[in-house]
Amino acid sequence: MKIGFIGLGNMGAHMARNLAAAGHEVTGFDVAGVTVDGVRNVNSSVAAVKTADAIITMLPNGQILRSVAAEIIPVLSPNACFIDCSTVDVDSARRLAADWPLSVDAPVSGGIGGADAGTLTFMAGGSDAAFAIAAPLFEIMGQKSVHCGASGAGQAAKICNNMILGATMIVTCEAFALADKLGLDRQKMFDVVSTSSGYSWSMNAYCPAPGIGPESPSDNDYQPGFAAELMLKDLRLSQQAAEAVGAATPIGQHATKLYQQFVEDEDGLGKDFSAMLPRFSKLNR
Ligand code: NAD
């Protein structure tokens, strides 16, 4: 396939490289002038997508996606499939589908490591026809894709998942800080919770306490991993969506407030989102 790839950042560069390595003809563009092995670099979005069978975008936010889409849609081939893998608001995803019906919103989970290894999970929204074109590409860049429903359903799944993740990480961290103050050994706490009803991905796979559980960013001085500011971005998207549809999400709302405080008023910027544990350790009721 001829693929036009726009946004060759931390995630996109790996994804484009994996597509090229699998034999696709990938043309790439990034405003930062990034170059990627095996990808033919051009100097505009339009040049990247002209004659492409599939367009993939991996951009920072919905506003940038909308401006890139407005620029490239007029030059797309009629049967080109527009696959947006960025994490953006549900509304931007639906607007893209209104402007270009053969489109898929397909945000990912798995982080930079997953993008590099080609083991991402894709959660996709769009028509069956669009998903059928995108699915073989998801297989190269990832290990799983779920067709969640119509346009916007991929973004909806992503923000619901990450709202759960943000909230469980916070409560796991505050529970460790409470356990410390109660004199409960952290390893014992892990041994019990990871095999009891309090278990979660945050505790079992990504334990925020250094030296405990499988290796995670806490073992590397909380270098991300998944940065606190990216968690804040996703939590804000969840709250924007909740407001738009009138859904009550009190815990998600509070988690958003805590990550905002951590990133904007404290020292959370640039740290992994599990660095909430040292944050709570410093606090008293
Ligand atoms: P990034 O900032 O590293 O990459 C975005 C790239 O887009 C940058 O290289 C930037 O120069 C480029 N860009 C910005 N405006 C552009 C334009 N108008 N035209 C062309 N290129 C443009 O971000 P990332 O970490 O690669 O994340 C990309 C998306 O994936 C985000 O929406 C993020 O929320 C989501 N995501 C990231 C992770 C992660 O762990 N990093 C995990 C899951 C999802």
> What are the tens digits of pLDDT across the range 206-224?
999 999 999 999 999 999 9
Question: Using CA atoms in the order 262, 264, 269, 274, what is the torsion angle rounded to 10 degrees?
Answer: 20
Question: How high is the pLDDT of residue 183?
Answer: 98
Q: What is the pLDDT of residues 95-124, one digit of tens each?
A: 999 999 999 999 999 988 899 999 999 999
Among this protein's residues, is 50 annotated catalytic? no
| Cβ neighbours of 196 (radius 10 Å) | 9
Question: How high is the pLDDT of residue 187?
Answer: 98
Q: What is the pLDDT of residues 24-52, one digit of tens each?
A: 999 999 999 999 999 999 999 999 999 99
Q: How confident is the model at residue 64 (pLDDT cuts 50, 70, 90)?
A: very high
What is the residue with the minimal CA distance to atom 17 of ligand 1?
31
Residues 169-186: b if buried by 16+ CB within 10 A, e if exposed: bbbbbbbbbebbeeeeeb
Give the CA angle between residues 115, 11, 52 to the nearest 5°: 95
Q: CA 90 to CA 62: how far, in whole Å?
A: 9
Catalytic annotation, pick one of 2, 50, 144, 158:
158
What is the residue with the minimal CA distance to atom 30 of ligand 1?
86
For 126, phi and psi rounded to 5 degrees? 150, 180
Q: Is there a contact between 6 and 28 (Cβ–Cβ < 8 Å)?
A: yes
The alpha-helical segments, DSSP class H, found in the chain are: 12-21, 45-49, 62-72, 90-99, 111-117, 128-141, 153-181, 186-193, 201-204, 228-245, 250-260, 276-282
pTM of the model: 0.95
Q: Is there a contact between 255 and 237 (Cβ–Cβ < 8 Å)?
A: no
Q: How confident is the model at residue 237 (pLDDT cuts 50, 70, 90)?
A: very high
Question: How high is the pLDDT of residue 83?
Answer: 98
Asked if residue 58 has its Cβ within 6 Å of ligand 1, the reply is: yes
Q: How confident is the model at residue 232 (pLDDT cuts 50, 70, 90)?
A: very high
Question: How high is the pLDDT of residue 177?
Answer: 98
Per-chain mean pLDDT for the chain: 97
Asked if residue 228 has its Cβ within 6 Å of ligand 1, the reply is: no
Position 147: which residue type? H
Asked if residue 56 has its Cβ within 6 Å of ligand 1, the reply is: no
Question: How high is the pLDDT of residue 249?
Answer: 98
Region 174-195: mean pLDDT is: 98
What is the residue with the minimal CA distance to atom 16 of ligand 1?
31
Asked if residue 87 has its Cβ within 6 Å of ligand 1, the reply is: yes
Q: Torsion-angle region of residue 51: left (phi > 0), alpha (psi -120 to 50) or beta?
A: left
Question: How high is the pLDDT of residue 181?
Answer: 97
